[in-house]
Amino acid sequence: MVEGDDGMKDVGEQLAEKLKKRNWNKNYRQLIRDAFEDEEVKNFIRDNQAGLSQEDIAKSASKVYEFVSVKNKIKRGEETLAPGYDPQLTLNNHLIDVTYVPSEALIIQKKRQAIYNRVHSINMPKDIRDAELADYDLEGRELAAEAAGRFIVEYTNAPKKFHRAMYLQGSFGVGKTYLLGAIANGLAEEGVTSTLLHFPSFAVEMKNSIGSNGTMKMVDEVKRTPVLMLDDIGADQLSSWIRDDILGVILQYRMQEELPTFFSSNLDMIQLEKQYLTTNNRGEAEPLKAKRIMERIRFLAEEFRIVGRNRRQFKK
Ligand code: ADP
Ligand code: MG
């Protein structure tokens, strides 16, 4: 009895398995048939009929099925094994094959990323990441916006030539930093790398890391960047070390190498010069050193006054 029971069970299990398999096969065959009904598949086979025999097509069934199922998954918004890549039918040694090509969305995303990567921001607010000249509200800054657009065109046309950059002067919140960001992004779209630096924070970092290897390496990187933007210059009282050995060194190099350098400041150039008359250790003003810095800034950049409302008040 015991034996018989077992035997019966075996047979039953085998049968169930067979049925399952048959069903599955049936389903699979149906899926394959459906896949061959896909318009893209039909067109592909028609376009390539010279190179495809009936046997080749039959052998390619699983690839055709893969193509259609991945394609439909993407259409339904489901995650695929290779997100961002679209399946494409190809002919490979008399068989149909599927290759995966970057989707349009992925290409756009990669391009965007490449643009972001060309803008090195150091201690800058995040919202300049998407600043665009096209979105720039022109009221009170027509000249500056026009000059910014011209700079991008002229620089990208002749990157080896010297181009005088801009010194954006205006009160708090008028959009100076935003404009610098928009210029950097505009340049990035043309393949140009720039570095945006919030100068007061940079000065504090330099002071805190005096003597470390990192300090001079950072200064070195900053001074060599193709396009440099020093944001909020003059917002703090600089020590003479920062003024002469950091800022002075950077500006001297950029002047010698004729590398474009932008500035933004709440102060105009005359006010900035006064600000830079830092007293030295002995308590004496150093007008010559302040003048030397200003000479370099004037060589590198033309002053633009930006007026307008404080946009920060209107934001929460
Ligand atoms: P500033 O550097 O002159 O103090 P910001 O550039 O930081 O001013 O601008 C202040 C705020 O207004 C920021 O949040 C910035 O994103 C926004 N903003 C400035 N200009 C524009 C503009 N043209 N279009 C949209 N938003 C702007
Ligand atoms: Mg600012």
Q: What is the pLDDT of residue 22?
A: 64
All residues at 6 or more sequence positions from 264 whose CB lies less than 8 Å from its CB, including other chains: 167, 168, 169, 176, 177, 179, 180, 229, 230, 231, 232, 233
Pocket test for ligand 1, best of 176, 307, 311, 315 (most atoms within 8 A of CB): 311
Going residue by residue through the chain, which has 316 residues, state the pLDDT in tens, using 9 for 90 and above: 444 444 455 766 776 676 566 666 778 888 889 999 999 999 999 999 888 999 999 999 999 999 999 999 999 999 988 889 999 999 988 899 999 999 998 998 888 888 888 999 888 888 888 888 887 777 778 889 999 999 999 999 999 999 999 999 999 988 999 999 999 999 999 999 999 999 999 998 888 887 777 778 888 999 999 999 999 999 887 788 888 889 999 999 999 999 999 999 999 999 999 888 876 667 777 888 889 999 999 999 999 999 877 777 655 4
Residue 181 contacts residue 124 (beta carbons within 8 Å): yes
Q: What is the pLDDT of residue 1?
A: 42
Distance 263 CA to ligand 1 centre (A): 15
Show me where the domains of the chain are located.
12-102, 108-305
- Quick one: which atom of ligand 1 is closest to the CA of 128? 16
Structure tokens at 107: 């290409």
Q: How many CB atoms lie within 10 A of CB 241?
A: 15
Count of positions (residues) in the chain = 316
The closest ligand to the CA of 312 turns out to be 1
- CATH architecture of the domain 108-305 equals 3-Layer(aba) Sandwich (3.40)
| Sign, CA torsion 296/301/306/310 | negative
Q: What is the pLDDT of residue 16?
A: 67
